[in-house]
Chains A and B, each alone.
Chain A
Amino acid sequence: MSELQAQLREWRDAAERLVPPWWGKALAGLLVAVGVILPFLTGSSSGFLNGTIVAVAYAVMALGLNVVVGMAGLLDLGYVAFYAFGAYCVGWFGSGFFFGVRVHVGVSPLTSTLAGIHLNFVLILLAAVVVCAVAGMIIGLPTLRLRGDYIAIVTLAFGEIIGVLAVNGQSIGVGGGMTLTAGNLGISAVDSPWFPGSGSFGLLDLRPWYWLVFGILLIVLFVNLRVRDSRLGRAWIALREDEVAAVSMGIPLVKTKLMAYAIGAAFGGMAGAFFGAYFTEVNAGQFAFGFSIFIVAMVVVGGIGSIWGALAGGLLLGYINNYLIPDVLNNLPSAFGLSFQLSSVSFGIFGFLLVLVMTVRPQGLFPERRRSLELTGEIAAQDGELGSEPVGPA
Chain B
Amino acid sequence: MSADAAVPAAPATLDAPLPPPILLAQGITKRFGGLIAVNDVTFDIPARSIVSLIGPNGAGKTTFFNMLTGLIRPTEGRISLDGRNITRSRPDVITARGVARTFQNIRLFGAMTATENVMIGHHSRMKAGVFGAIVRPPWVMKEERAAVQRARELLAYVGLRRADFDRLAIHLPYGDQRRVEIARALASEPRLLLLDEPTAGMNPQESATLAAFMRQIRDDLQLTILLIEHDMKVVMGVSERVTVLNYGSTLAEGTPADVRANPAVIEAYLGKEG
Contact = CB atoms under 8 A, between A and B. Distances in A.
Asked if A pairs with B, the answer is: yes
Given A245-B103, A250-B95, A386 B108 contact: yes
Contact of B206 (A231, A232, A253, A394): A394
Identify the interface centre among A251, A263, A377: most chain B CB within 10 Å of its CB. A251
Interface string B160-171: 000000001111
Interface string B1-38: 00000000000000000000000000000000000000
A232 B130 CA distance: 7
Identify the interface centre among B106, B111, B169: most chain A CB within 10 Å of its CB. B111
Contacts of A223: 134
B120 interface: yes
Interface string A212-254: 0000000000110011001111110110011011111111110
B120 A227 contact: no
A387 B91 CA distance: 22
A188 to B, nearest CB: 36
B217 interface: no
B95 A370 contact: no
B88 to A, nearest CB: 15
Interface in A338-363: none
A198 interface: no
B119 A253 contact: no
A313 B39 CA distance: 55
A13 interface: no
A2 interface: no
Given A242-B107, A245-B103, A374-B110, A386 B171 contact: no
Contact of A246 (B96, B109, B128, B169): B109
A187 B112 CA distance: 47
B133 A232 contact: yes
Given A223-B134, A231-B126, A394 B112 contact: no
B133 A248 contact: no
Given A249-B121, A387-B177, A226 B184 contact: no
A275 to B, nearest CB: 24
Contacts of A238: 109, 112, 120, 123
A390 interface: yes
A247 B130 contact: no
A250 B170 contact: no
Contact of B203 (A234, A245, A250, A394): A394
Interface string A363-380: 000000011011001110
Interface in A303-353: none
Given A389-B174, A394-B173, A247 B91 contact: yes
Interface residues of B, number: 51
A259 interface: yes
Given A245-B103, A245-B108, A377-B170, A252 B92 contact: yes
A386 B95 CA distance: 23
7 closest pairs, A vs B, by CB?
A250-B124, A230-B133, A387-B106, A250-B95, A389-B201, A245-B107, A241-B109
A5 interface: no
Interface in A247-277: 247-253, 259, 263
B221 to A, nearest CB: 17
Given A234-B120, A248-B91, A242 B129 contact: no
Interface in B65-122: 69, 71, 90-92, 95-96, 100-101, 103, 105-112, 116, 119-121
Nearest to A224: B134
B71 A247 contact: yes
Identify the interface centre among B106, B120, B124: most chain A CB within 10 Å of its CB. B120
A167 B261 CA distance: 76
Contacts of B110: 241-242, 374, 386
B58 interface: no
A233 B128 CA distance: 11
Identify the interface centre among B100, B134, B140, B168: most chain A CB within 10 Å of its CB. B134
Given A227-B130, A245-B103, A235 B120 contact: yes
B50 to A, nearest CB: 21
Contact of B171 (A241, A244, A377): A377
Contacts of B95: 248-250
B159 interface: no
B136 interface: yes
A384 B177 CA distance: 11
Contacts of A388: 174
Given A227-B130, A390-B174, A394-B203, A250 B116 contact: no
A250 B121 contact: yes
Identify the interface centre among A230, A374, A383, A393: most chain B CB within 10 Å of its CB. A230
11 contacts: A222-B134, A230-B133, A231-B126, A233-B133, A234-B119, A249-B100, A249-B188, A250-B96, A374-B170, A387-B107, A394-B174
A223 to B, nearest CB: 5
B201 A241 contact: no
Nearest to A387: B106
Contacts of B188: 249-250
A246 B132 CA distance: 21
A373 B112 CA distance: 10
A383 B95 CA distance: 31
Given A230-B140, A249-B100, 4 more contacts: A249-B120, A249-B124, A379-B171, A386-B106
Given A237-B109, A238-B112, A387-B177, A246 B133 contact: no
Nearest to B96: A250
A288 B188 CA distance: 46
Nearest to A231: B128
B263 interface: no
B40 interface: no
Given A223-B134, A232-B130, A263-B130, A383 B171 contact: yes
Contact of A390 (B69, B100, B147, B201): B201
A244 B128 contact: no
